[in-house]
Structure 1
């Protein structure tokens, strides 16, 4: 009987989920070091899958509680961009299907850019509905950042179809006639809020990268509008542009210095 190649075994292991599988037992008997390394990798992946499943179940508890009360459409709502000194604040509202499973889903701040992009595509493909609200730097200056954030969130909710029956919101209360629950650190405690945080984060990051292409001297694609040393030096050298939040102290001070 022909011995399987390492490549064949590697492919076969992706189809095996249980270590009691006779095929797995046969692979374990193979003494080649390269095969033993594949087995170690299989066990590590199995542990990772179990950890991701457990985390997803833990983060689904608010949703599961609502489903038991016959709530059908639950929207998670979150925002990104409250802290930067440039660019918009972006909010997203996401209704996930009841049977959604997104391994690795977590607070967008805890994920790598590559993982956020991967989950962004998965959420876009599986969500029942997605809404995105964007409030510009100019509007932020007119309203203040807190009110601008609420406006972006309400905009995102208004785009949802079907309309949500219940909102799970990251640490905010919104002036809408929909039952809602504010959850502290919601993006780490609710799959719906975590999904909305990823949609909002990827959307805003893409906008800031486009801004970086338009104004390469400011480096927006690197700092995403936050007040880094490089960003503040660029403001001193090249001045304030429309996308800067003029009500935020570093920009206000830069404008005063220019006048002086």
Structure 2
């Protein structure tokens, strides 16, 4: 049995026709936005051909960038609705990561949901958006809808970080996507923090670097 078929089996087992999945990318980064993705699947319109097309569907972290890009296109073709909600660094610093994350997930799920849909949220219960919801721990590896949302969120955010790397080349955002890798921390020590860095995060790489460096 393919991985995608197993994940769709989970969603069909819920006994509903309309399934929303929502997941985020970038929660643990030192720099860049948080992006929440959401998809709406009509399980009555997903047959063997669609399941085969998404046979490799899984948690976005288990795929290469090339595989995610391919799956992103398939998700756009098969899902009824797809949305990505981005929350900027200023908002993350001002409102806090956790609150912003829950709000973004709720908003994304609400934008694709339709009456009668069940919203599956990866790992969290989120603020009410008028639709039934369920938190699924490890959902990006259990639910087809959440796995598809994780692909949407990750691809959308990675594309943003690649564009940011062209504008702010000193920090290598196209290599680490804003995560706190050793190379990224070295770049911060050398060049300071950029406009995309989250000032509210506590990191040893930020010591003495309170002002943005010139790009």
Do the structures match in fold with TM over 0.5? yes
Q: Is residue 123 from structure 1 mapped to residue 68 from structure 2 by the alignment?
A: no
Which residue of 6, 21, 29 maps to 1:84? 29
Cα 1:158–1:167 change in 2 (3 A) is closer
Matches of 2:170 and 2:7, distance apart in 1: 41
Task: Report deviation, 1:72.
Answer: 2.8
Matches of 1:92 and 1:228, distance apart in 2: 24
Matches of 1:175 and 1:153, distance apart in 2: 9
The answer (yes or no) to whether the contact 1:95–1:164 under 8 Å persists in 2 is no
TM norm structure 2: 0.87
Structure 2: gaps (5+ residues): none
TM norm structure 1: 0.73
The answer (yes or no) to whether the contact 2:30–2:179 under 8 Å persists in 1 is yes
What is the match of residue 235 of structure 1? Answer: 188
What is the match of residue 255 of structure 1? Answer: 209
Matches of 2:158 and 2:183, distance apart in 1: 18
What is the match of residue 92 of structure 2? Answer: 140
Task: Report deviation, 1:144.
Answer: 1.3
Matches of 1:148 and 1:157, distance apart in 2: 14
Secondary structure at 1:169 match in 2: strand
- Report 1 or 2 for greater relative contact order, CA contacts < 8 Å, sequence distance ≥ 6: 2
Matches of 2:164 and 2:211, distance apart in 1: 24
CA radius of gyration, larger in: 1
> What RMSD in Å do the two structures reach over aligned CA positions?
1.9
Matches of 1:226 and 1:210, distance apart in 2: 16
Secondary structure at 2:86 match in 1: strand
Q: Size of the alignment, in residue pairs?
A: 203
Structure 1: gaps (5+ residues): 1-50
